Structure 1
Amino acid sequence: MHWSQRIKIIVKQNSLPFDLIVFDIDGTIKDQNNPVAKNIIDITEHIKSLGCAVTYATGRMTNSAKIYAGLKPNVPMVSYQGAEILNHSDYSILNSVEMDKKYILEVLDVVKFFPVKAMIQYSNQIYCDTDDGWIQDYAFRNNVDLISDKNYIKAQQRDPLRMVMIGEPEIIINLEVALKSQLSNDLYITRSLPHFCEVLNKFADKSFSIDWICEKLDINKEKTLAFGDSYNDIKMLQNVGYGVAVFNAVEELKNVADQVLDIDGNFGIIDFLNKTFS
């Protein structure tokens, strides 16, 4: 039986308040210096046993998500902000939304006026035109290949999953504004972390990925629940049945959330889930 058929049977047989729960990882269920806590893993395992679908939607690259997610999804999971959707059992790619390579130079023409580092990312590969220690460490930590590419000549031969610019937070804010002023009709431009600005296909975001999962599993989107903390979670929380911003979320996300948790850290999420699934 196909994975989607097995999950459809499970979901259709439950009478839970939500059929699908989606977690952002960084800043939501994982802080900067620690792995996902055991209490989060335990409660998600319990909720899965009740017949609920559980997954994550992250900006992390796929190999990085494998290492750091902690959760064990029972439905497809989302990486690269939504540019890849992966089979939960073997990490094979179920759906991929690349950015047209014609936009690489257009983005770089804006980026060159800002003191930032730029990466062009493919599936578990990074192309970079600078021999930078931070990016080398980033590639190592995320278990992906780093390819030196002067002036991004090789990168322009392929459609990337995304471009990522790294810099000081105030510079990244200005870069985001500049990119959106020129390319927002054609591309999805967002900040994930304060020092990250990301550029993707305009249909490569977490909300479109959740739509894809719901369609494949015949899940009513009104019965979806999502947790997030940052700018790249805004569309996701707006698009699901019930969007929850964690205690430490940015104000822009809190403003669009259906609920803002009033307990910090994992305990806020656990308190919410215990009350919801009691």
Structure 2
Amino acid sequence: MYKMIAIDLDGTLLTDELTVTTDTMTAIRESMEHGVVVTIATGRMYPSAQRIALELGLDAPMITYQGAMIKSATSGEVLRERVVPFEIAQKCIHLAAEKQMHIQVYQDDVLYSAVDNEQVRAYSKEVGVGYEIEPDLLKLAKNGFMKLLFIDEPEALAPVQEELQAVLGDEACIEKSKLRYLEVTHPEANKGSALKFLAEHLGIDSSEVIGIGDNHNDTDLVKAAGFGIAMGNAVDELKELADYTSLSNNEEGVLHVLNKFILEPRTAAVDSGQ
């Protein structure tokens, strides 16, 4: 019996309309009633994830900022935090300026951009959070960022990702979370390491954990879970390493997983008197 499930948000739990279906909400709550820990593992900032967690009634600590922060949706208690040091942030900010590419940063649960442009406005609307303008991002960098996010077209991001990986190596975690999003976090800030930490904190063995996602930044999540699941709409690379492929996010793929691997086995166990 699986005791914990960690679910990505965009492209996984959320439909393309950024909603959670009623049946999926019901299945999540039923799973929790059976004692299963249901949590979110997202690249989104904490305030954005918290809003969804509270709507679902989740009470477990959440994995946010790609794993840089594990924080309770209800109490606000921080269990783990990994910030990007100044030297890494400085290199990213300088590279963004050189490439004339939008970059935004996250500090103290606030989203900052150096300029008020189309990219940050669209992002703010999509995830339901506000933002602040700070022309001097390097000034903020001295106190560390939870993550930095480059936003541009895929063909523009590809060479930037290669350059960052060549320059930073294992000093940072550099991952695509969407076609137009390239994220930079602390090297220990990925969904996989965060999932392992949280499971251990809760006294749950990794073999009893399900991890489900759809994109490149979910690779470590799927690998770290005892049972890793890719959505039907997931990138091919994730499907290849996953233990199982579900339906797409628009076909209630998370609901399918909850029913097949959590709720139905428990119902069968009750019926058999176990």
TM-score scaled by structure 2? Answer: 0.88
Shift of 1:186: 0.4
Indicate if the aligned counterparts of 1:120 and 1:155 stay in contact, CA closer than 8 A.
Answer: no
CA deviation vs aligned residue, 1:189-239 (integer Å, no higher than 9, x gap): 001011010000000111111111111111111110011000000011011
Percent identity between the aligned chains? 25
Say yes or no: does 1:43 pair with 2:27. Answer: yes
**Unpaired stretches in structure 1, ≥5 consecutive residues:** 1-16
Question: Once structures 1 and 2 are overlaid, which stretch shifts more, 73-82 or 198-207?
Answer: 73-82
- Cross-structure match for 1:239: 224
- Cross-structure match for 2:42: 58
SS in 2 for 1:225: strand
> Take 1:275 and 1:128, find their aligned partners in 2: how far apart are those partners?
43
- Cross-structure match for 2:178: 193
User: Aligned to 2:74, which of 78, 86, 89?
Assistant: 89
TM-score scaled by structure 1? Answer: 0.87
CA separation of 1:229 and 1:144: change in aligned 2, threshold 3 A? same
Shift of 1:168: 0.6
SS in 2 for 1:185: helix
CA deviation vs aligned residue, 1:104-140 (integer Å, no higher than 9, x gap): 2222343344342011211222232223143145346
Shift of 1:75: 1.7
CA RMSD of aligned residues (A): 1.9
Aligned 1:117-132 pairs, distance under 5 A: 117-132=102-117
Indicate if the aligned counterparts of 1:227 and 1:244 stay in contact, CA closer than 8 A.
Answer: yes
Say yes or no: does 1:161 pair with 2:149. Answer: no
Question: Once structures 1 and 2 are overlaid, which stretch shifts more, 230-239 or 209-218?
Answer: 209-218
Say yes or no: does 1:100 pair with 2:85. Answer: yes
CA deviation vs aligned residue, 1:157-179 (integer Å, no higher than 9, x gap): 21111111000122122221221
Structure 1: which 4+ aligned runs deviate by more than 4 Å? Answer: none
AA aligned opposite 2:135: D
Shift of 1:265: 2.8
> Take 1:88 and 1:262, find their aligned partners in 2: how far apart are those partners?
28
> Take 1:262 and 1:65, find their aligned partners in 2: how far apart are those partners?
23
**Unpaired stretches in structure 2, ≥5 consecutive residues:** 265-274
The structure with more helix, counted as a fraction of residues: 2
SS in 1 for 2:73: coil
